[in-house]
Chains A and B, each alone.
Chain A
């Protein structure tokens, strides 16, 4: 019974982190699916989302606003607004001029943008990590109060529900709306979509905006969950999310969700049963293993070589 409760606890922690990873991974996978580049600056967009949310929350607190839902919603809106503008601007400035060149060129440009944004926030807000207030406290406890208890905090529930809402909305958007349909067309064949009268530049911008918005949501949630932010906050999370996207099969949206959850669970199981220091080793090791046996990821489509 004890063991089961402990296992459950790790599973819950893992699914929480994993669903947030999935939110970030969507940005990578959609961009890759459409223009075939790794958007290295995506982790920084997520970090900027977290910072904006923290700034908004602090600002509202100093104005004397105390009603929790209002604070959260305003913070969410601000974070999404700033991050998506940033995503749009980054695409316009750094990626559009180099689109269609040799594969390495956009990648280097993205790495440069990532270094730039990291230092932009570093210069403006300092390099120390800043505490994020725990706005959502408390939770449920299961099990015998004298021994190990499994707990689910309200924060974790919030992360689950928010992710679920975002994912459902995204799926509906991609499958039902005009822009979503255009997105799918562009990711299948950019040139052909252009010929058929789709404004592909707009669709690519839209992709960046959607990805950045979801990253901002993840930034707010994970900032609150971890309790602090710093300018390097985005790098490792971005790397994990990208791993999740590749794990699930890059270019595939359900794959990103699955990859995020698998990565989160495997990480928390490692910290729970082995040691927290090796969780990154296990997640990257898992990535290498999966790619060896299934080179296109779990849900990726096998690529056909055309001559």
Chain B
């Protein structure tokens, strides 16, 4: 056994060297037109050797290490507690949610402009993740091209403004409905495909939309994107220094306060917050309606659900369309927040990040998904010093989460009725 362990450990160490040395230890450097090879600095070489040694030792004493990890006392103090009573839990949920919403409302007045801007972005991702949660978490349809619907919403607003001068509030429902239409049209033929085929078709669809946006230069400006997208107005009030549109008034003039650039940011944040809350509430209602129940039924057991008379296509289609609707919603807000959009913002990585948020949060769980959106967007911003390693760590974190906590931060709690305890 020991000899076998040793052989395996040696093999793993050699593999570590083989996969790290050529890529990390030998750098291709362009000198004029020639490409030459340069050895990496000593620190890199030492860390490669250390990594190999670490892998060797870990594999050699794997059984001991794993054994002692298993024997360690459980670190989670909540692991063995009794589940809370249903009524108590509900009351607690309500209190926590109310406090959170109030906190979110007061918060922008206390912090810097940059943080409010970041919070708006977080809320956009919350909307996206809640929408994708319907498709992936509740209906169990794997959508890898979700960002396409986001792009449809953003571009709808940008183009409507550019050509017809349509304002944010009118563009919001139009963008969302157009995205929903795209979802419906794509979903209609492809939803009868099985899981992984659906994934690749939606992935292809996402790429098609991005390439079209990139190449239809006469309409979308191609890679240069569209700029000058206006901020939302509030009851006809603008937040700039001067009025841009005929018939609008200025916020600071109406309320007779001095002009400040912060007003715009804060109002945009509050509008996004309201829209995100709207998204969360609507989807919450849906999950309690028959259509929401049938999404979950179909996800759990397609054959059983169909034999009980559920129409597979229409149930899946409704989930897909509603998901797309909220992506369009978020897209419109995104276009308005950025003021400039280009196909660069709608690459596959975005889809992957939104999917990661849904899975990290715990598929189907709304609170979990919101928490995960906050974590996934804020943590990389905090890790600015490691900006080079950001995506590397993000990828690694995705893998590690799937290994250690695949059910997500807050797994979904099913709606259930508990039997009363017999006296």
Contact = CB atoms under 8 A, between A and B. Distances in A.
Interface of A: 32, 36, 38, 48, 51-52, 54-56, 58-59, 62, 78, 81-82, 85-86, 88-89, 93-94, 97-98, 101-109, 111-126, 128, 130-131, 133, 235, 239, 242-243, 246, 250, 275, 277-278, 280-281, 284-285, 287-288, 291-292, 295, 303, 305, 307
B352 interface: yes
A52 B22 contact: yes
B99 interface: no
Contact of B363 (A104, A113, A130, A243): A104
A208 to B, nearest CB: 12
A303 B194 contact: yes
17 contacts: A48-B23, A51-B23, A82-B19, A94-B402, A102-B406, A104-B136, A109-B398, A111-B352, A111-B398, A112-B396, A114-B395, A115-B352, A131-B30, A280-B208, A280-B211, A281-B211, A284-B207
Contact of B208 (A38, A54, A285): A285
A55 B399 contact: no
Given A85-B15, A130-B35, 5 more contacts: A51-B23, A115-B392, A123-B388, A239-B203, A284-B205
Given A82-B18, A85-B18, A291-B193, A125 B23 contact: yes
A292 B35 contact: no
Most chain-A CB neighbours within 10 Å: which of B208, B356, B388? B208
Contact of A38 (B194, B196, B205, B349): B196
Contacts of B194: 295, 303
A243 B200 contact: yes
Contacts, number: 177
B107 interface: no
A116 B392 contact: yes
Nearest to A125: B28
Interface string B285-318: 0000000000000000001000000000000000
Q: How large is the interface on B (under 10, 10 to 19, 20 to 34, 35 or more residues)?
A: 35 or more
B204 A112 contact: no
Contact of A104 (B28, B142, B211): B142
Contacts of A102: 406
A54 B355 CA distance: 34
A58 B36 CA distance: 6
Most buried by B among A56, A122, A123, A250: A123
Interface in B36-75: 36-37
A157 to B, nearest CB: 25
Given A85-B19, A121-B23, A281-B208, A108 B398 contact: yes
A242 to B, nearest CB: 6
Contacts of B203: 239
Contacts of A278: 211, 215
Contacts of A303: 194
B201 interface: yes
Contacts of B19: 82, 85-86, 89
B24 interface: yes
B86 interface: no
Contact of B205 (A112, A114, A288): A288
Contacts of B24: 124
A103 B195 contact: yes
Contact of B395 (A113, A133, A275): A113
Contacts of B349: 115
B391 interface: yes
Interface in B185-217: 189-190, 192-197, 199-201, 203-205, 207-208, 211-212, 214-215
Contacts of B27: 124-126
A246 B194 CA distance: 12
Given A98-B403, A115-B352, A131-B35, A89 B15 contact: yes
Interface string B383-399: 00000110110111111
Contact of B396 (A116, A123, A130, A281): A116
B391 A115 contact: yes
Given A85-B15, A125-B23, A291-B190, A109 B399 contact: yes
B28 A54 contact: yes
Contacts of A56: 22
Given A105-B402, A109-B398, A119-B395, A239 B207 contact: yes
B26 interface: yes
Given A108-B355, A108-B356, A111-B352, A280 B398 contact: no
B359 interface: yes
B155 to A, nearest CB: 16
Interface in B361-380: 363
A105 B403 CA distance: 9
Contacts of A101: 406
B363 A81 contact: no
Contacts of B22: 51-52, 55-56, 78, 82
A55 B205 contact: no
A280 to B, nearest CB: 5
Contact of B399 (A103, A104, A112, A118): A112
Contacts of B201: 287-288, 291
A119 B396 CA distance: 10
Interface in B136-165: 136, 142
Given A97-B403, A246-B197, A284 B352 contact: no
Given A120-B23, A130-B30, A280 B207 contact: yes
A283 to B, nearest CB: 8
- The 7 A-B pairs with the shortest beta carbon distances in the complex, nearest first, are A112-B398, A116-B395, A115-B395, A284-B204, A119-B392, A109-B402, A112-B399
A307 B304 CA distance: 9
Contacts of A284: 204-205, 207-208
Which residue of B27, B189, B204 has the most chain A CB atoms within 10 A of its CB atom? B204
A114 B355 CA distance: 14
Contacts of B197: 246, 291, 295
Contacts of B28: 51, 54-55, 58, 125-126, 130
Interface string B1-30: 000000000000001101100111011101
B200 A107 contact: no
B136 A58 contact: no
Interface in B326-368: 348-349, 352, 355-356, 359, 363
Contacts of A36: 196
Contacts of B355: 108, 111
A281 to B, nearest CB: 5
Nearest to A132: B35
A107 B190 CA distance: 20
